[in-house]
Amino acid sequence: MLAERSLEEDVRALLAAERRARLSAAGEWRVRGAAAAAARRGDEARQRREARLHDSSRVGRVMILEIVPNICTKILNAIARDGSRALIGNALSSWECSIMRHEIETLDAIKRASAATRLADAEERGKKVEKARHLRQSRARRAARAAELLRAAVIGYRR
């Protein structure tokens, strides 16, 4: 009888140690998974931010590439027509004005793209905050439900 009890206690101790080891390993895996997920989310956010910045800078390059051929065509046409200094001077003057005008438009487009990028980043942060708040609320509700069930069980047990 004494040997059986001793053996039973040893088996229980071994099972408890095994269970603790399993729970510890599961906790470590959870932490590693959460860290990997956080790193992945950070990389994805960085890639989205870089893509937005790349798109906003490309707006300026595209506008300049569209402008220069038109201006060069005007100058060449003026030279080919007459070759007069007045026409070339007018073409260059209009060319300078159009470049300045397009530079201003490009700067405005870049400002708008930067503002849109900042707005998108702010919206993304807002969504993260909202999601975290909902998570906290749902955890609190689950804990409250569990506490209510335990209270009901204790009160029911006392009667």
Q: Chain-centre distance of CA 6, in angstroms?
A: 59
3-state helix, strand, coil in the chain (%, to 5): 95, 0, 5
pLDDT confidence tier of residue 25, bands split at 50, 70 and 90: confident
Distance CA 77, CA 74 (A): 5
**Residue 39 or residue 80, greater confidence:** 39
Cβ atoms 88, 78 nearer than 8 A: yes
pLDDT confidence tier of residue 31, bands split at 50, 70 and 90: confident
User: What is the sign of the dihedral through the CA atoms of 19, 24, 29 and 34?
Assistant: positive
Cβ atoms 99, 71 nearer than 8 A: yes
Mean pLDDT for 24-28 is: 86
CA distances from 110 to 48, 50, 55, 60, 64 (A): 17, 15, 10, 7, 13
**Residues comprising the chain, all counted:** 159
**Tell me, what DSSP letter sits at residue 1?**
-
E strands, 88-145, in order? none
pLDDT (0 to 100) of residue 103: 78
In this model, does residue 140 exceed pLDDT 90? yes
Rg value, the chain, Cα:
35
- pLDDT tens column, 115-125: 888 888 888 88
Write down the domain spans for the chain: 2-158
pLDDT (0 to 100) of residue 81: 59
Distance CA 110, CA 115 (A): 8
**Residue 63 or residue 113, greater confidence:** 113
Residue located via tokens 């804990």? 143
